[in-house]
Structure 1
Amino acid sequence: MTLNPHDIDSGARVGAPPASVGKGLRSGTVGLLGAVALGLSSTAPAYSIAVTLGLVTMTVGQLAPAALVIGFVPILFTAFAFRELNRDMPDCGTTFVWNTRAFGPWTGWLIGSWVPTVASLFAMTALAQVSATYLLSIVGLDGLAGDGTAVTVTGLVLLAGATVLARRGLQIATAVQYALLGLQLLALFGIGFAAFTRPGAATPALSWINPFAFQGAGPFAESVLLCLFIYWGWDALITVNEESSDADRVPGRAVLISTFVLLASYLFTAFAAVGYAGIGTTGIGLGNPANATDFLSTLAPSLVGNALATVVQLAVCVSALSAMLTCLVGSGRGYLSMTAHGAMPEAFARIHPRYRTPTVGTVFFGAATAVTLVVLKLASPRFLGDAILSIGLLIACYYGATAFACVWHFRHRLRASVRDLLFKGVLPLLGGLMMLAAFARSAYDMVAPDYGSTSFHGVGGVFLLGIGSIVLGVPVVLLVRHHFPRFFREGKTSVVQPTVNESRS
């Protein structure tokens, strides 16, 4: 494969949406079911609900199911934006390409690439730690599971294994995801069914999903931001759009299917858990701080017995592992697209001759995650926790920007039909505004020094990590602009045609 960054297709029509270009990926590899599996796996449903439901309950009590529904609304509206943009511009660069096309190279690189990359890095550090902790506990090494160094080393080993698997190709990765996803959903619905049928469990009430019962904007915004984290990740499936059987339709359908499956499984689990355990601050109550970050491990022994409780632990472990795998798959393809459009070094366009995967990009992201994990761990375990809490800000930032990008990109087509007005304009706009509101309110709350575990000169560490990560992207983009001036000089047309073409031997 030779790379020629100056070989531009002379037939390119300036102003046309970027077509799905030959980047060396193997097309037709992923069908609808495989795309849905990747989307669900990337959200790590068992892990996400296990570490978040308790925190949501501590914030809003029995309204936790309502928070899940309210948090789903901006996600759904944003999913419509992703679907419509993918139909018009099926490119594995997704948010990078779409934001560049709508708002220009600066926004594309900073908001469409840098912000989701940082969010993914922070999330990957958490996933590596969680999977390592659970694995050590499952195999009986409880002492090592409580040792920070042992957990970090085990997490690095698991990360290396996931990187190797992601490098091997989508067919292997998707097959593995089927098994991992099946175990997660089985565990969630098994725990939920056991809780629902347990004598003495409270009957779910409609008041638990009343969106008007929240006490104040602060708890509402905080709970919604937590729920954004629960749903976040389904967009990773769109990064395989150029390898899908129908690039402009299958990923969009998979996005909607996966988000609704997530909503159903989360609501089922939340209703069951709140009804069985209650919201008390002692014992197995979901409001107990001791249970906040892993209610599944607390409830499983009394619901299904110790043997099956180990299966639940295994489900959370593989949930984190499967999300790691999907993040690696998506990130490598994002770098490939950026390189194809002239926004990153040519090395990231290298495709494995046998597996047809972006080798350099995949390995680079795996290595970057390892470095981030070690640096944050050496800085302070509490620092790592605040980094994870800041992810919600980053999610709201780039999801909201992409929703606005949809509205702006299709602004001249909104009058074509009622459908276009609704799905390309009104709903994405509402989704973007909701994301912006959640971002602003949460950023305001996170400034407080007691928000999270660390602070610096009276400013909360979560705020500094979240907003600081976005601000840090500015000098990074300035550096990129210096090395790739052509991409920034060509403005919104930078992604009309690729600036790196591949000739296959």
Structure 2
Amino acid sequence: MRTTTGRGLQPNVLGTFDTTVMAVAGSAPAYSLAATTAVLFGAVGLAGPAALLYCAIPMLGIVLAYARLGRIDVNAGAGYSWVGRTLHPFLGFLSGWALVVAATVFMVAGSLPAGALTLSLFDAGLAENTPLSAAVGFGWFLLMLLVVLGGARLTVRAQLLMSGVEMLILVGFVLAALLHRGHAVAFDWSWLGLGHFDGPAGFASGALIAAYYYWGWDVTSNLSEETRDSRRTAGLAALVGVGVVFLLFEAFTIAVNILLTAEQIEAGGAGVLAVLGQEIWPGVGGKLLIVAVLLSTIATLETTLIQVTRSLFAMGRDRTLPAALGTVHRRWNTPWVAIVAVGGAALLMFGAAAAAGSMGQILEHAVAAIGLQIAFYYGLAGIAAVVAYRGMLLGSVRNLLLGGVWPLLGSAFMFWAFAESLGELSTPSLVIGLGGLLVGVVPMIVYWRKGSSYYRPARLDAARALAAAEPFAPSSPRARRPDETLATDF
């Protein structure tokens, strides 16, 4: 295998449509609904639609923060770079580390259902065999690992096929659910209110699970070094992607509340979407939605691999982790060492998962743990955006709202959900979530003592960065201040 160091990722590979598809696939609508609906129902009951709604509002603040930070610092490490250059390098490293841990845990949380779903297409009984599901799931994971190794163009082509079929099936079932006559209960507007939550802690638990639903759209930022006009494209694609999956999440969660009983939801577990499909279209619907979930699961494995390998690539390039991780393949322009390292770590975790027992328990613990890590690094990014643009926030009401208030609201919400949910989570979830973060302190201190230049950052300031990126002569009729440029671009 021919490799080289000192090379970057291949630029200008992805366009706006490609990146938007990646944002939607990153949030994995069908997989998120299948893996998390029963978990969300167990935590908040009929208030699932409200949890998704009230998490979407601050989540959009984080999307705006990513869009604005991406305009002034194009970096495959995304929050790892932004937080390190605005708040503190230690926080920046831990932000990147949180993404790496969350994504690595997801390799099991995502691949196990892929294996079980594949087996269920042939024999429903086989899906209950966790070791066999882990083996088949690892096969899908390995296939996606090879696709990601093959480069961004191959990755997008595979994504267009998988996500295209998934979206056609999901939209078709949304329309079918609207026309379906058999209702378990009638629609109730209170499902979108706050009355069904068990106090602030119950609301926080629901919000943390909802954050897991949305997680993944930020893959657009990790792909920024490979995207055309990425200073605008990455943020726009993320915004559109979150809007699309929000509508799908709300539609299907409401459909589950209406069409299925509590007993059906709890018994369905990770297969609740197949139960819904059978209710809407007996005999065929369940199988079709299983296909949609399988495609979504495989697609989001691909986007998650991109996130974790690009983050590790940025860390290796900065010498905050072994420099070999920053090595790019000469032919495919992909961080192949990081890809191989993730594959090795995932193999060990698959072995542990196969011996751990119930797939439902594994998913429940993993979702909660990943939710903690998501809340942590999203919250830091929201603060980083406000700090980076602090000199420009008072330039207009639009700047103050979109660049200050909304990202700060998103950040506060994420940290509040993080803190409030700690008392509600199981011991395995806390060990995975908090323990995974604490492990990152070791490499952080080691490479800080080695003198990595990452720990002596050039400060990130939006006014200077935008002026340098878009220099207009003062006499030109197109001349405009950096805050005016910002006002039209998020």
User: TM-score of the superposition, structure 2-length normalised?
Assistant: 0.87
User: Are 2:349 and 1:375 equivalent residues in the alignment?
Assistant: no
User: Are 2:425 and 1:425 equivalent residues in the alignment?
Assistant: no
User: Are 2:104 and 1:137 equivalent residues in the alignment?
Assistant: no
Question: 1:10-409 alignment to 2 at 5 Å?
Answer: 23-110=7-94, 112-138=95-121, 140-201=122-183, 204-211=187-194, 214-277=197-260, 280-282=261-263, 284=264, 286=265, 289-378=266-355, 381=358, 382=361, 385-409=364-388
Q: Which residue of 2 aligns with 1:485?
A: 451
Residues 414, 425 of structure 1: 8 Å contact kept: yes
Q: Against the structure 1 CA distance between its residues 266 and 143, is the aligned structure 2 distance closer, same or farther, given a 3 Å change threshold? A: closer
Query: 1:400, 1:324 → 2: CA distance?
Result: 24
Query: 2:10, 2:224 → 1: CA distance?
Result: 11
Q: Against the structure 1 CA distance between its residues 37 and 489, is the aligned structure 2 distance closer, same or farther, given a 3 Å change threshold? A: closer
- Please, which runs of 5 or more residues in structure 1 have no aligned partner? 5-22, 452-459, 497-505
Query: 1:462, 1:340 → 2: CA distance?
Result: 31
Deviation at 1:85, TM superposition (A): 0.4
Task: Please give the secondary structure, in 1, of the residue aligned with 2:23.
Answer: helix
Task: Please give the secondary structure, in 1, of the residue aligned with 2:69.
Answer: helix
Residues 82, 460 of structure 2: 8 Å contact kept: no
Residues 130, 357 of structure 2: 8 Å contact kept: no
Match of 1:463 among 430, 437, 443: 430
Query: 1:118, 1:495 → 2: CA distance?
Result: 29
Letter in 2 for 1:371: L
1:21-55: CA deviation from partner (whole Å, max 9, x where unpaired): xx532222111111011111112110101222233
Query: 1:383, 1:198 → 2: CA distance?
Result: 33
Query: 2:417, 2:306 → 1: CA distance?
Result: 29
Deviation at 1:369, TM superposition (A): 1.8
Q: Moved runs in structure 1, 4+ residues, more than 4 A?
A: 1-4, 379-385, 491-496
Task: Please give the secondary structure, in 2, of the residue aligned with 1:66.
Answer: helix
Deviation at 1:193, TM superposition (A): 2.3
Q: Against the structure 1 CA distance between its residues 418 and 487, is the aligned structure 2 distance closer, same or farther, given a 3 Å change threshold? A: same
Cα RMSD, aligned residues only: 2.3
Deviation at 1:431, TM superposition (A): 0.6
Q: Against the structure 1 CA distance between its residues 384 and 50, is the aligned structure 2 distance closer, same or farther, given a 3 Å change threshold? A: closer
| Count of residues in correspondence between the two structures | 457
Q: Percent identity?
A: 27
Residues 145, 343 of structure 2: 8 Å contact kept: yes
Deviation at 1:255, TM superposition (A): 0.8
Query: 1:214, 1:489 → 2: CA distance?
Result: 43
- Please, which runs of 5 or more residues in structure 2 have no aligned partner? 463-490
Query: 1:246, 1:491 → 2: CA distance?
Result: 25
